[in-house]
C-alpha cells in the first residue's frame, strides 16, 4: 500500500507525548517528514529519536506555542529543515477543572492561550507558507468538550468550543488558497496525565461513553491521518468526532 503522506512535511505541536506523539509516529510511518514542536526538549527529542529509529525523518523545534515568535519559528524551521510545510497539526492542550467563580484570570488566560490562541498563532504563519506553495492542510485537535458542556471546565470548554469556531472560519477563508482546515474531537484518552489519577476517580468517566473505556492515543491518531491524507480531499470545515459514543448519549 502506498504511504498516504509520502513526500509531505508535517509539523505537529505537543508531539512529545500522548496524542501528539502518536500522530507524529503514525505520520512518519505513512511517509511524512515530521517537525516535532514541543516545549519539553527531552520529550520532543524522544519522539524524534523514535521516528528516526523506524527509518523516518524528523526534526525538533523547541517552542512555546503561546508565543508569537515561537509559532512563527515553527513554520520557518520546518521550511528550513525540509523545504516546505504541507500539514500543521495543532495539538497542544491543557485543562483546569474549575467553574468561572473559582477560575482566576491568570488560569483563564493560561488555558485559553494554550488551547486556542496557540492554534491561531501557529495557523497564521502556516497559512502564509501554504499559500505560497499552492495549498496545505491544517488539523486542530478540539475535544468532545468542544461539543457539549461539562461541569467544572469553564475555561477548557470555552477554549475547545473556540477551536471549532476557528476551524470553520479558517476553512471558509482559505478554501480559495487550496488549504483544508478540519477539527478532531477526541473523547477521554489514556495518557501520561491519566496514569497519575487514582482509578476510583477515573472510573465514572470510563463509564460515560458507549464503549465503557478510554481510548489509546493510537486509536485517535488515524483520524488525524485521514484528514491529512488525500483521502479527505473533499473534506474541509468538518468536525471528526472520536469519543466512543459519548456525544450520542
Kind and range of the H or E element at 25? Answer: helix 18-29
The neighbour count for residue 101, using CB atoms within 10 Å, is 6
Query: Which residues are CB-contacts of 127 (< 8 A; sequence separation ≥ 6)?
Result: 136, 138, 170, 174, 177, 179
**Helices 154-174 and 118-133, packing angle to 10 deg:** 20
The torsion of the CA quartet 19, 21, 23, 25, rounded to 10 degrees, works out to -150
Residue keyed to cell 507524529 = 24
Selecting among 125, 156, 205, 246, the annotated active-site residue is 156
246 is catalytic: no
| Residues with catalytic roles | 156
Amino acid at each position: 500500500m502506498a504511504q498516504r503522506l509520502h513526500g509531505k512535511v508535517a509539523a505537529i505541536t505537543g508531539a512529545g507525548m500522548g496524542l501528539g506523539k502518536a500522530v507524529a509516529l503514525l505520520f512518519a510511518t505513512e511517509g511524512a517528514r515530521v517537525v516535532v514542536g514541543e516545549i519539553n526538549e527531552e520529550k520532543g527529542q524522544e519522539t524524534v529519536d523514535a521516528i528516526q529509529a523506524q527509518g523516518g525523518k524528523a526534526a525538533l523545534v523547541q517552542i512555546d506555542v503561546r508565543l508569537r515568535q515561537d509559532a512563527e519559528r515553527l513554520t520557518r524551521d520546518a521550511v528550513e529543515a525540509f523545504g516546505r510545510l504541507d500539514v500543521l497539526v495543532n495539538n497542544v492542550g491543557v485543562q483546569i477543572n474549575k467553574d468561572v467563580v473559582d477560575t482566576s484570570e491568570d488560569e483563564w488566560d493560561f488555558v485559553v492561550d494554550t488551547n486556542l490562541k496557540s492554534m491561531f498563532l501557529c495557523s497564521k504563519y502556516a497559512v502564509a507558507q501554504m499559500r505560497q506553495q499552492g495549498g496545505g492542510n491544517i488539523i486542530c485537535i478540539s475535544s468532545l468538550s468542544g461539543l457539549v458542556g461539562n461541569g467544572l471546565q469553564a475555561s477548557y470548554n470555552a477554549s475547545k468550543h473556540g477551536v471549532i469556531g476557528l476551524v470553520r472560519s479558517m476553512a471558509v477563508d482559505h478554501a480559495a488558497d487550496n488549504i483544508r482546515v478540519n477539527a478532531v474531537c477526541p473523547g477521554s484518552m489514556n495518557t501520561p496525565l491519566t496514569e497519575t489519577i487514582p482509578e476510583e476517580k477515573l472510573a465514572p468517566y470510563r463509564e460515560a461513553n458507549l464503549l465503557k473505556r478510554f481510548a489509546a492515543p493510537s486509536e485517535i491518531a488515524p483520524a488525524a491521518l485521514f484528514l491529512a491524507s488525500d483521502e479527505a480531499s473533499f473534506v474541509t470545515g468538518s468536525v471528526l468526532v472520536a469519543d466512543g459514543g459519548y456525544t450520542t448519549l
